[in-house]
Amino acid sequence: MERAQLEERVITLLAEAVVMPREDVEDPRTNLREDLGMDSMDYVDLITVLERELGQHVEREQLSWVRTVGDVVDLVCELAAKRDGTETSQASS
């Protein structure tokens, strides 16, 4: 799956998880805690959703650096690339 497709899917999943309109979640700079009001339980839910979507285990530590929607997209792209056995290049944000 290409990055653009993964990004669209992540945005949809996040919007559903935080029960907000998709438009409020689209900006990659959107902060999960400050802008979306996610708390530690929401992060646990996010792990579950990502595991289901990716079909692989996501370590809690892998979310330790995740602060924004763009960070979630980067993580999903990285995990998908590992799953698929391909390399991914991430742009620094």
Which domain CATH number covers 9? 1.10.1200.10
Has residue 65 got a pLDDT over 60?
yes
In a domain, 28, yes or no: yes
Q: Which tokens sit at 60?
A: 């809690």
pLDDT band with cut points at 50, 70 and 90 for residue 68 = very high
> Is 24 part of a structural domain of the chain?
yes
Counted domains in the chain: 1
Task: Look at residue 41 and tell me if it is in a domain.
Answer: yes
**1-59 confidence digits (pLDDT tens):** 788 999 999 999 999 888 999 999 999 999 999 999 999 888 888 889 888 988 888 88
Q: Could you report how far apart the first and last alpha carbons of the chain are, in Å?
A: 22
- The predicted model scores a pTM of 0.83
Q: What is the DSSP letter of 23?
A: G
In a domain, 47, yes or no: yes
On the question of pLDDT at 88 being above 80, the answer is: no
Task: Tell me whether residue 92 is in a domain.
Answer: no
The answer to the question of residue 89 being in a domain is no
Residue 34, domain extent: 3-84
